Amino acid sequence: KPDVKPNPYLTTGREGYYFVENGRNTWREIFEKVSEILHKKGYIQSSKVASIPDDEINTVFPEPFRWFLGTQSNATAQRLRKLGWKPYRPSVLDAIEQEVDATISENKN
């Protein structure tokens, strides 16, 4: 059995839910990065991101996705960091181009 010392930050049950992250981003920042990449690759004419009026959003995006568009993703890894965890993967913004490339590749077939 490993020698595990009690740690007040290591919890279970309702308090045992841990997030990982490597920085905080708004959805707008993510959309702007995707737009910039698609424009650079020639898939769209402009990298400008426009807001969609509330009365039009229902016709463009289905529920529940439309509810997330005006929010931020505020999950933080504070509790894991207290345990000594450190992010070692790229941030969401740094990884988006790879994700865009994979999505384009998957949809070409």
Instruction: Give residue-wise pLDDT tens across range 10-44.
Output: 777 887 788 888 888 888 889 999 999 999 999 99
Cα–Cα distance between 51 and 46 in angstroms, integer? 14
User: Per the domain annotation, does 47 fall within a domain?
Assistant: yes
Number of domains in the chain: 1
User: Per the domain annotation, does 103 fall within a domain?
Assistant: no
Reported as a single tens digit per residue, the pLDDT across 43-84 is 999 999 988 887 888 788 777 777 777 666 677 888 888 888
Q: How many CB atoms lie within 10 A of CB 33?
A: 20
User: Per the domain annotation, does 5 fall within a domain?
Assistant: no
User: Per the domain annotation, does 4 fall within a domain?
Assistant: no
Cα–Cα distance between 68 and 54 in angstroms, integer? 13
Residue 30 structural domain: 13-96
User: Per the domain annotation, does 57 fall within a domain?
Assistant: yes
CA angle 59, 61, 65 (to 5 degrees): 145
